[in-house]
């Protein structure tokens, strides 16, 4: 019974407007208020900061806010605390971003990092302004809905004479059919969580090591292959992706060379490695990509530092 007002409500309170916040609990919108002012949500918080032009972002003591937040989270039940925490991390990260931007010497934009930071700032503002526009529209829509709320649509209900008008119902459903339908409906509800399911990404574990070995063999034999040829037999998109990653690994190991005449053109791969096995490359790639049972999606970041070195 979290939000009783949301069950189909002929809730009398609805008329008095007491349930204006009824959907709130469905979001990760935080009940936590920063002591700076009463903010309610990441973008709201940021908009508030911008609106109060005198407020210096650099003066917001993130540590203090964090202390308060942790105290607040302790009062929550587990699931809610998790939601709110991730929300808070988002806000805090954005705040840190803004602090970073603010602390940069604005007049002398020279380094790549400065430009990147400025671009990030522009992007942030573009998003904020876009959100602001939608927020204003939402207010207008709310006003329109409120103005319209006093009108109720005619619902025809059951017409005493109307039953005879309907064509005779063709009925060939059995009680067993109904049972099956009910079970499917009830089960589906359990099976479909709100989150995007990631299970399917893990379904087929594709092994980078094996794919690299297979491509090495193919390239050694042919000397030169197009990427299309290399992925010709791939049974899924995931295999294509993994083979591409494998090629990058081989390239790093200087076992292959790439040639692409035009952007988006055919990628030609030429074997340039020694006759000997590139066992090192295979091991390293396997360590980076294949560990953790085909968890290909998660590995892209963890492998980052070692390759940049």
Looking only at residues 270 through 289 of this chain, which bind other proteins when binding is defined by CB under 8 A? none
> Of the listed pieces 118-126, 262-270, 274-282, 284-292, which binds other proteins according to CB under 8 A?
118-126
Nearest 5°: CA angle at 145, between 141 and 149? 170
- Verify binding: residue 82, other proteins, rule CB under 8 A: no
Near other proteins by CB under 8 A: residue from 96, 119, 125, 236: 125
Burial of 36 (0-12, 13-18, 19+ CB in 10 A): middle
- Any contact of residue 59 with other proteins (CB under 8 A)? no
Contact 246, 212 (CB under 8 A): yes
In the complex with other proteins, which residue's Cβ is closer, 192 or 293?
Answer: 192
**Binding-site member from 61, 71, 109, 149 for other proteins (CB under 8 A):** 149
Sign of CA dihedral 267, 273, 277, 279: negative
Rule CB under 8 A: say whether 141 interacts with other proteins: yes
In whole angstroms, how close is the CB of 124 to other proteins at the nearest point? 9
In the bound state with other proteins, the residue whose beta carbon lies nearer, of 172 and 261, is 172
CB of 69 to other proteins, least distance (A): 17
Q: Are 230 and 215 a contacting pair, CB within 8 Å? A: yes
119 sits near other proteins (criterion: CB under 8 A): no
Q: Among 157, 263, 276, 309, which residue sits at the site for other proteins (rule: CB under 8 A)?
A: 157
Cβ-proximal residues to 3 (8 Å cutoff; 6+ apart), any chain = 22, 23, 24, 25, 26
User: If binding means CB under 8 A, how many residues of this protein chain bind other proteins?
Assistant: 105
* Minimal distance, residue 132 CB to other proteins, in Å: 7
Question: Quick check: 37 binds other proteins (CB under 8 A)?
Answer: no
49 binds other proteins (CB under 8 A): yes
Q: What is the dihedral of CA 35, 56, 109, 100, to 10 degrees?
A: -20
CA distances from 13 to 16, 20, 147, 148, 163 (A): 5, 10, 18, 18, 36
Cβ at position 67, least distance to other proteins in Å: 24
Question: Rounded CA gap, 295 and 205, in Å?
Answer: 8
Which of 35, 188, 199, 280 touches other proteins by CB under 8 A? 188
| 178 vs 236: CA distance, rounded Å | 38
Question: Which of 142/292 has CB closer to other proteins?
Answer: 142
- Give the three-class secondary structure for 159: coil
User: Is 300:272 a contact under the CB 8 Å cutoff?
Assistant: no
Q: How far is CA 278 from the centre of its chain?
A: 37
Residue 58 Cβ vs other proteins, minimum distance, rounded to whole Å:
10
Q: 102-109 long-range CB contacts below 8 Å, 24 or more apart?
A: 102/56, 102/57, 102/58, 103/58
Q: How far is the CB of 156 from other proteins (least distance, A)?
A: 5
Q: Which of 37, 64, 67, 183 binds other proteins (CB under 8 A)?
A: 183
Closest approach, Cβ 88 to other proteins, in A, equals 12
């Amino acid at each position: 019974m979290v939000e009783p007002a949301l069950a189909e409500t002929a809730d009398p309170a609805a008329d008095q407007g007491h349930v204006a916040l009824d959907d709130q609990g469905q979001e990760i919108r935080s009940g936590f208020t920063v002591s700076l002012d009463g903010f309610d949500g990441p973008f709201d918080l940021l908009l508030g900061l911008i609106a109060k032009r005198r407020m210096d972002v650099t003066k917001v003591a993130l540590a203090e806010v964090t202390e308060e937040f942790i105290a607040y989270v302790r009062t929550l039940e587990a699931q809610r605390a998790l939601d709110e925490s991730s929300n808070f991390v988002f806000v805090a990260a954005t705040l840190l971003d803004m602090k970073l931007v603010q602390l940069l010497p604005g007049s002398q934009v020279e380094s790549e990092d400065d430009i990147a930071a400025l671009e990030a700032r522009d992007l942030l503002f573009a998003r904020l302004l876009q959100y602001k526009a939608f927020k204003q529209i939402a207010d207008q829509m709310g006003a329109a809905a409120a103005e319209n709320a006093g009108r109720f649509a005619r619902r025809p209900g059951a017409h005493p004479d109307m039953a005879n008008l309907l064509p005779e119902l063709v009925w060939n459903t059995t009680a067993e059919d109904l049972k099956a339908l009910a079970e499917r409906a009830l089960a589906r509800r359990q099976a479909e969580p709100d989150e995007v399911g990631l299970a399917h990404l893990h379904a087929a574990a594709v092994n980078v090591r094996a794919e690299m070995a297979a491509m090495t063999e193919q390239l050694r034999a042919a000397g030169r292959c197009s990427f299309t040829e290399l992925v010709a037999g791939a049974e899924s998109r995931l295999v294509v992706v993994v083979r591409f990653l494998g090629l990058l690994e081989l390239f790093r190991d200087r076992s292959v060379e790439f040639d692409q005449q035009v952007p988006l053109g055919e990628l030609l791969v030429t074997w340039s490695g020694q006759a000997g096995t590139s066992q090192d490359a295979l091991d390293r790639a396997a360590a980076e990509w294949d560990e953790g049972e085909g968890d290909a999606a998660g590995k892209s970041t963890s492998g980052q530092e070692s390759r940049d070195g």
